[in-house]
Amino acid sequence: MGKISQIKTDYESYGFRSLSESETFHSRLDLNSLLNRAQEAKRKSKKLNLLIFSGAATVVLVFFGLLSI
């Protein structure tokens, strides 16, 4: 068991806030922000896929280059 001062709250550990503390509880849902978030996630996914594909292609090319020597 740790000291009381060493115990982290849920917010400190996980970034969690309860609904009573949240300001968005009483506000409306903004569809534009949700669409922007979805587009940003799609862009990040495309960049990651391109990075993975180019890395795999590089490994294959290096392998065949070493085989041809």
**Does residue 64 have a pLDDT over 70?**
yes
DSSP label at 56? H
Residue 65 within any structural domain of the chain: yes
Instruction: Please count the structural domains in the chain.
Output: 1
Helix, strand, or coil (residue 42): helix
> The whole model's pTM is what?
0.53
pLDDT at 18: 63
C-alpha to C-alpha distance for 38 and 46, rounded to whole angstroms: 12
Assess if residue 5 is contained within a domain. no
Q: Identify whether 12 is part of a domain.
A: no
Residue 57 lies in a domain: yes
Domain residue limits at 69? 30-69
Domain assignment present for 4: no
Domain membership of residue 25 (yes or no) is no
**Tens-digit pLDDT profile for residues 1-56:** 556 555 665 556 666 666 565 555 557 788 999 999 999 999 999 999 999 999 99
| Inside any domain, residue 1 | no
